[in-house]
Amino acid sequence: MKHKIVVFASGSGSNFENIVLKSKENYIPAEVSCLVTDKAGAGAIKRAIRYGVKVVVVNWKPRYLGEKNALCVLEKENPSLVVFAGFMKVVSPEFVSHWRGKILNIHPALLPAFEGTTNAIELSVEKRVRIAGCTVHFVDESVDGGPIIAQAATLIDPDEEIEKIEQKIHSLEHKIYPAVIKGILEGKIIFDQQNNRVIFKDNKMQLSSIFSIEI
Ligand code: GAR
């Protein structure tokens, strides 16, 4: 039976769409069964409708009710992975405890730089960083502090238009996120719960395909 993935997104949904496409192409051995969003106006919704993916809008105010409803969706869908793709909410330890080792997040910076913020790209530009990038990690009780799975970096010119820098980072995200999801579903990337770290079954993967630097 094919794996199921549930994606959580609050924004435009370019990562969501990319994951849907990669699963339709069978690069990711799974079907995106549902989009969960906390924003009724999220661009991700239109993309989901275009690809026939079920959408559930969950009101996140108050958080405990949002999480309760989201947990019900997850219980029903029973996905192999819960993928946060531009989901701008911090989930509680209680939420994490139900899906530990199965929740992924992507952050548009080289963590631990610019952790815990929803505007990491703007802050990177403000701080005039020259090497920017993105990180995929498992979600734990901390904010953006869970075990790192993959990172990709690119040189940037902080005087460049922010839209161009965003595009560069998004294009890295669109490469590493599907690669990580594929690696986990194929059993090549494993969450070691006892030590709260990541194990790579395939050494080549650890060294090359999901850790990349573009110059
Ligand atoms: C992505 O850049 C993602 O890394 C970021 O939101 C963007 C969503 O873009 N996530 C965070 O900042 C989480 N703190 P998208 O809606 O086009 O996929």
Please determine whether the domains at 1-99 and 106-215 fall in the same fold group of CATH.
yes
Tell me the CATH number for domain 106-215. Answer: 3.40.50.170
Beta strands in 9-130 (DSSP E): 30-37, 54-57, 81-84, 103-107
For 29-59, the pLDDT digits (tens) are: 999 999 999 999 999 999 999 999 999 999 9
CATH among 3.90.76.10, 3.40.50.10800, 3.40.50.170, 3.40.1440.10 for 1-99: 3.40.50.170
For 82-106, the pLDDT digits (tens) are: 999 999 999 999 999 999 999 999 9
107 is annotated as an active-site residue: yes
CB 104 near ligand 1, within 6 Å: no
pLDDT of residue 105: 98
pLDDT of residue 1: 77
pLDDT of residue 202: 78
Instruction: For the chain, give every domain's residue range.
Output: 1-99, 106-215
pLDDT of residue 212: 67
CB 80 near ligand 1, within 6 Å: no
pLDDT of residue 2: 87
pLDDT of residue 160: 95
Mark the ranges of the chain whose per-residue pLDDT is less than 70.
Answer: 204-215
Residue 108 Cα to ligand 1 middle (Å):
6
